[in-house]
Amino acid sequence: MSLILGLLWLGAGLTLAVLALAFAATVPLMRRREPDPPDCPANHDMPAEAVHFPSRDGLQLGGWWIPAAGTPRGTVILCPGQNGSLDKDIPQAMPLQRASFNVLLFDFRAHGCSEGELVTLGALEQADLFGALDYLEAERGISRVGVLGFSMGAGVALLVAAQDHRVAALVVDGAFPRLRGILTGYLRLRGIPGPLAGGFARLVLWMASLRAGYSIGRANPLDLAQRITAPTLFVHGERDPFVRTEEVHALAARLGRPVEVWSLPDCGHRQAYQRHSDEYARRVVGWFARYLSADETLSAEADRR
């Protein structure tokens, strides 16, 4: 009997230890991010207007409206990743703005100048991108846009594009098929052995869902991919520690056409712009120039009036 009790106590202790470790991993994943060093479009010779608008669930979001240089060819929303703030992504607006695209760049909840205290890894952040689309339609008269998303922002862009046809063209840099997969890679990098990382990722997602009051594990682009009709360009670094190259191709294969994967053997997660900035700008601008024409935008606006 004492042996059985001892084993029960040991099992309970191990369970509590695992739960404590999962909680310790969940808290930093979900807490409000420290912003990156401050920057603004004026530092890059771009005119801009500070803007604020509500997320679909009422949080106030902040960002920049950067008007096109010359007659607009369309409008592109930039969706940052889950670290820091929008500041580090301002340089990636430059090629688009100079190619005569308007750019809306905003902070997701719990980042930078936006409200909120919880990061939900793309789950509730969908409401933020819906809010950006609503803002552009209501305040700027723009109902057809492109979206350039990075990492978490790439996942959000795919999820929202599957639900909202105002997203007419996509470029996704560092996209992932399933949230559990990218979280498993994150945990492996922090020393959790491969065979355990997957199960531990499930536990972390469960705890994160309890904290957010929303099933975060449902934020999987792969599950909605077949509903995406917007032309989509995937940018993927083959050295990405979070997402395997074959996973990106499998995700891309689920989407409607046209779709393209630009895969770079010498890049890790979100390193393509840093290592190949000229080619990156050419491909991104070219994709939106091809699939986000100003004529169609103006026609849609005229119909709305």
d(CA 193, CA 133): 41
Regarding predicted confidence, which is higher, 216 or 25? 216
In angstroms, what CA-CA distances link 178 with 12, 42, 112, 231, 236?
A: 31, 37, 26, 20, 15
What pLDDT, on a 0 to 100 scale, did the predictor assign at position 29? Answer: 82
Given a cut of 80, is residue 189 above it in pLDDT?
no
Mean of pLDDT over the chain: 88
Q: What is the mean pLDDT of residues 9-31?
A: 52
In whole angstroms, what is the distance from residue 211 CA to residue 19 CA?
Answer: 14
Q: Report, as an integer, the average pLDDT of 175-186.
A: 88
d(CA 243, CA 61): 29
- List, for residues 201-238, the tens digit of each pLDDT value: 888 888 889 888 888 888 899 999 999 999 999 999 99
* Local confidence band at 61 (pLDDT 50, 70, 90 cut-offs): very high
Pseudo-torsion of CA 168, 170, 175, 179, nearest 10°?
-10
Find the range with the poorest average confidence among 52-56, 185-189, 262-266, 267-271: 185-189
Give buried/exposed letters for 173-201 (b at 16+ CB in 10 A, else e): bbbbbbbbbbbbbbbbeeebeeeebeebb
What is the identity of the amino acid at 267? C
Starting at the earlier edge strand, list the strands of the sheet with 145-150: 49-54, 60-66, 101-106, 74-79, 145-150, 167-173, 232-237, 259-264
Please, which residues have CB within 8 angstroms of residue 34's CB and are 6 or more apart in sequence?
A: 84
pTM as predicted: 0.89
Q: What crossing angle do the helices spanning 152-161 and 125-140 adopt, rounded to 10°?
A: 60
Helix (H) or strand (E) holding 52, with range, is: strand 49-54
Flag whether pLDDT at 161 surpasses 90: yes
Residue 16 clears pLDDT 60, i.e. is over it: no
- Among 2-6, 82-86, 198-202, 204-208, the range of highest mean pLDDT: 82-86
Which sign does the torsion angle of CA 152, 155, 159, 161 carry? positive
Domains of the chain in sequence order: 31-178+220-304 (3.40.50.1820)
Tell whether the model's pLDDT for residue 282 goes beyond 90.
yes
